[in-house]
Chain A
């Protein structure tokens, strides 16, 4: 599982060259060194209170996603705390045909996600706007629920690079929280979104019913 098969897939240097020829930054002049110096100075003298309350001191949290702090920024709901009060326009045209896979010879695309970091007790209010900004969003049917893995077959994909199958893999403890929060059950259909490779909970992922469907339709329907 270590080496990606870089060399075996085509690299297409001509296509790369053609793209490089239109690189809009190719002609970007280097920054004025004085400006850069000032910028760095301003950076280092900035006080440290704006964004985050997370301690910088502990290296304790294992494998924390680099950007978990962003997700924690807008505190409101408690994880597992529930029902989303979203006003709806609900015309339900969130149905979007997944793009057909181009090269029929490829193996099924598997997307791997992780459960949210365990320490994230707070999260954002689910809105269609925030949902639309998620990197991955899809409708999927649970095929397997294990201690450290949930496998979903993708039925429809709304955001993110398309995949045929999504595997959510995390240490059992985190996974337990996720399964509890989302209530993953074998054979059921779920709407799931993720950012930074981690499933978003707190009203952004759950069984594909009522309010959540409406939210997804609002986020991805237009």
Chain B
């Protein structure tokens, strides 16, 4: 018994070693530091309890756990909800080092103009750097659906950027003449 327990602990520690930093970043991008801490604990707890179910590719699974734990946390603090994305984007977490993220106001505005689902797809793609099948695992969708929606979300973001007058992406080379 003791040996089993030791073994389980060792497996969890090995797993957690690879999850903590990505999860911290994931949460720092989406909520305030206090909630991020809470949700990180909650997420690790789920990983520990459900260690036997953690798939071979643990990170998307763990993101999905964190995503749901975060949704629960925000449901109980609903008022924060709308603000969370922006807080994360505009107000870097306290524990930052030298490199401040760039300020790109048009991009913030364009992202804010998107539907929440589209913006989240784009974050998972660009910030977590996940591929469609990984995003699918996080969101509980099929990879094909993710590919299609991601494609559309990128199109919508480009469109918003064009509206704002700050075109981007592969059509952006002609500069900012459009309105």
Contact = CB atoms under 8 A, between A and B. Distances in A.
Interface of A: 1, 4-6, 9-10, 12, 14-16, 18-31, 36, 39-40, 42-44, 46, 48, 52, 56, 59, 65-67, 70, 99, 101-103, 106-107, 109-112, 129-130, 133, 135, 160-162, 196-197
A36 B102 CA distance: 29
B59 interface: no
B40 to A, nearest CB: 7
Contacts of B103: 22
A133 B152 contact: no
Interface size class of B (residues with CB under 8 A): 35 or more
A42 B38 CA distance: 13
Given A25-B28, A25-B29, A43-B41, A12 B127 contact: no
Q: DSSP class of B's interface residues: helix, strand, loop or mixed? A: helix
Given A20-B126, A27-B100, A65-B140, 10 more contacts: A4-B143, A15-B157, A19-B122, A20-B127, A24-B101, A25-B29, A43-B16, A56-B49, A101-B152, A102-B155
Given A22-B108, A101-B152, A6 B96 contact: no
A31 B24 contact: yes
Given A31-B24, A111-B145, A197-B141, A25 B118 contact: no
Contact of B25 (A4, A20, A28, A133): A28
Interface of B: 9, 12-13, 16, 20-21, 24-26, 28-29, 40-41, 44-45, 47-50, 52-53, 61, 64-65, 68, 71-72, 75, 78, 88-89, 91-93, 95-104, 107-108, 115, 117-118, 121-123, 125-127, 131-133, 136, 140-152, 154-159, 168-170, 172
Contacts of A160: 117
A12 B24 contact: no
B154 A10 contact: yes
A164 B145 CA distance: 12
Contacts of A9: 147-148, 150-151
